[in-house]
Amino acid sequence: MKFIVDCNVGRLARWLRIAGFDTLFEKDIDDGRLVRLALADDRVLLTRDTGILDRRVAVSGRLKVLLIEYDDVKLQLGQVFSALDIADEMKPFTVCPNCNGSLEPRDKEDVKEIVPPYVFKTKDQFMQCPDCVRVYWRGTHWQRMARELENLAGRT
């Protein structure tokens, strides 16, 4: 499943990406463009803007929209998992949380000059986004996020 996230729930985009979902997000986007992008690419629009629900394309069902009920990002993510029943579609840590690019495995030597020396010494597996060039590894933050995703997906 693919998503487009309204600016009023922008932090949700990062968590959906961490969970492995293709998720578009632009900070300064008007509702018309948001709707056009969702329709053009068959994306579910996630928003807190009730006005979008009143648009003809939403009322007719052509536009898939989920009205996000919560302020807290983890409750938002839990709502998306529950409402759309997508927990089994998760592929955590395969999408760049920064830019939505697909992460690719990298050999340790390939990232030697990019990652901090301690990380290079202590970690063996690395992923990199070819689009924004960020490098990711399984540190304590990764473990916390993995536990949180499993919890929100109802697997713990």
Render pLDDT for 99-119 as a digit per residue (tens, 0 to 9): 999 999 999 999 999 999 999
Residue of 22, 4, 5, 7 lying closest to 90 (CA atoms): 22
Name the strand (E) or helix (H) holding 67: strand 65-67
**Which domains occur in the chain, in start order?**
3-89 (3.40.50), 104-152 (no CATH)
Q: Which of 119, 120, 137 is nearest to 128 (CA)?
A: 137
Report pLDDT digits (tens) over 16-63.
999 999 999 999 899 999 999 999 999 999 999 999 999 999 999 999
What does pTM read for this prediction? 0.92
Cα separation, 137 vs 118, in Å, equals 12
DSSP 51: H
